[in-house]
């Protein structure tokens, strides 16, 4: 499998997060296209465990931008907020009459990319990122 290069200048990711991608994607859809400060406030006051994970990834992306010399990190746009499916741990749950049901413990990869407003408006980076809906 070939690795793809990110087109977003400042990004961070949390790989193998122990949460289903179905629970994380709606949170990431809320912050995509917003300013970084606004997205941080949205995630901070959401009562979901996935919001804590996405908040940490967003803070990491903002710190990466600050390390690269961005003066006002809050003016960056969340150009990419993506939740991709990760590997599943498969377990067996014993059932009646000698049967067993499969338990799938799902994981996901959370990726957040930030970009300057000028770059997004100039058309260099797509503002919305369409992601694959399959699991």
Report strand pairing: 100-105 vs 10-17: unpaired
pTM above 0.85, yes or no: no
Model pLDDT, residue 61: 95
Nearest to 6 by CA among 80, 60, 87: 80
Percent of the chain residues topping a pLDDT of 70: 86
| Residues forming beta bridges with residue 81, ordered by sequence position | 112
DSSP 2: P
With cut-offs at 50, 70 and 90, classify the pLDDT of residue 1.
very low
Q: For residues 52 and 33, what is the distance between their CA atoms, to the nearest angstrom?
A: 19
For helices 21-31 and 36-44, the axis angle rounded to 10 degrees is 140
Give me 25's structure tokens.
């994607």
Q: What does the pLDDT look like over 84-126, one tens digit per residue?
A: 999 999 999 999 999 999 999 999 999 999 998 877 777 666 5
Q: What tokens appear for 111 in the block?
A: 């990726």
Q: Average of pLDDT values for 54-64?
A: 95
Residue 5's pLDDT is 56
Which domains does the chain possess?
A: 11-121 (3.90.470.10)
């Amino acid at each position: 499998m070939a690795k793809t290069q990110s087109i977003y200048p400042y990004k961070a990711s949390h790989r193998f997060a122990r949460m289903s991608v179905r629970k994380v994607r709606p949170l990431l859809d809320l912050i995509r296209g917003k300013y970084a400060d606004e997205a941080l406030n949205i995630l901070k006051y959401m009562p979901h465990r996935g919001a804590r994970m996405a908040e940490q990834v967003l803070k990491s992306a903002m710190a990466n931008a600050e390390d690269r010399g961005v003066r006002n990190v809050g003016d960056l746009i969340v150009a990419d907020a993506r939740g991709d499916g990760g590997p599943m741990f498969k377990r067996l749950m014993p059932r009646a009459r000698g049967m067993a049901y499969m338990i799938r413990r799902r994981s996901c990869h959370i990726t957040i990319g930030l970009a300057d407003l000028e770059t997004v408006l100039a058309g260099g980076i797509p503002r919305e990122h369409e992601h694959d809906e399959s699991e």
